[in-house]
Amino acid sequence: MDKGKLFVCATPIGNLEDITLRAIRVLREVDLIAAEDTRKTVKILNKYNIKTRMISYNQINEKVKTLNLIKRMIDGAKIALVSSGGMPGLSDPGYLLVNECINKNIPIDIVPGPSAGISALVISGLPTNQYIFFGFLPKRKSKRKKILKNVIYQDKTLVFFESPKRVEKLLNEILQILGDRKCVIARELTKIYQELMRGSVSELLEGLKGREIKGELVILLDGYKQNAYNTNLII
């Protein structure tokens, strides 16, 4: 029996119309969909009348579920991996499963599509020729500051994911360590309340005062430019 196959399948980050025709076909044809958040993925399946069986595959259960999915593919199953939105493996489960497929010589295919980080970058107005993607920084303050200190002189655009509850804390740390740089906050991309906030870090912090921020955020920061930004931290 031939081995099965893993399809790493991008799904919409907000607007359900942002799915590709190929993704719809793959999700219909595979034997199983491994979804980070089944409650979100079912909305896509219902919209496009996709009846494929779905199981949860998230950060809590991925180690156990990976073994099961690998066994299924060795037995010939075709499986689609989807995140709660965007491209699996980028700050979402997927890395472990992809590597196990490589170790077991199971074929892997990519079904490209939306990515919050790339989408925010190309409409940010910041340089797009070179960038560094960090995903979510560690929750521990000391680890976050260590990462920020290591990129003080990095001239590439910096791209972060952050939750609404921690955005002001992160911006204050950026201001202290990296200086008052050009910054963009992209919120709720492709959704009804999409918002792009542009300005210096200090201006954005002022604009956030008293606001209840909701939705998923991408924070983009201008790279280092000599004599352009002052930092308050003595390295």
Structure tokens at 95: 């890395």
- C-alpha to C-alpha distance for 18 and 90, rounded to whole angstroms: 18
Specify the pTM. Answer: 0.89
Positive or negative: CA dihedral 221, 225, 229, 231: positive
The region, left, alpha or beta by phi > 0 then psi within -120 to 50, assigned to residue 174 is alpha
Structure tokens at 102: 């490589």
pLDDT of residue 231: 53
In tens digits, the chain (235 residues) has pLDDT values of: 578 999 999 999 999 999 999 999 999 999 999 999 999 999 999 999 999 999 999 999 999 999 999 999 999 999 999 999 999 998 889 999 999 999 999 999 999 999 999 999 999 999 999 999 999 999 999 999 999 999 999 999 999 999 999 999 999 999 999 999 999 999 999 999 999 999 999 999 999 998 888 888 999 999 998 766 555 554 4
- C-alpha to C-alpha distance for 173 and 177, rounded to whole angstroms: 6
Three-class SS state of 80: strand
pLDDT of residue 228: 64
- C-alpha to C-alpha distance for 196 and 217, rounded to whole angstroms: 10
Three-class SS state of 21: helix
Q: For 227, phi and psi rounded to 5 degrees?
A: 65, 10
Question: Which domains does the chain possess?
Answer: 5-114 (3.40.1010.10), 117-221 (3.30.950.10)
How are beta strands 157-162 and 217-221 bridged, if at all?
antiparallel
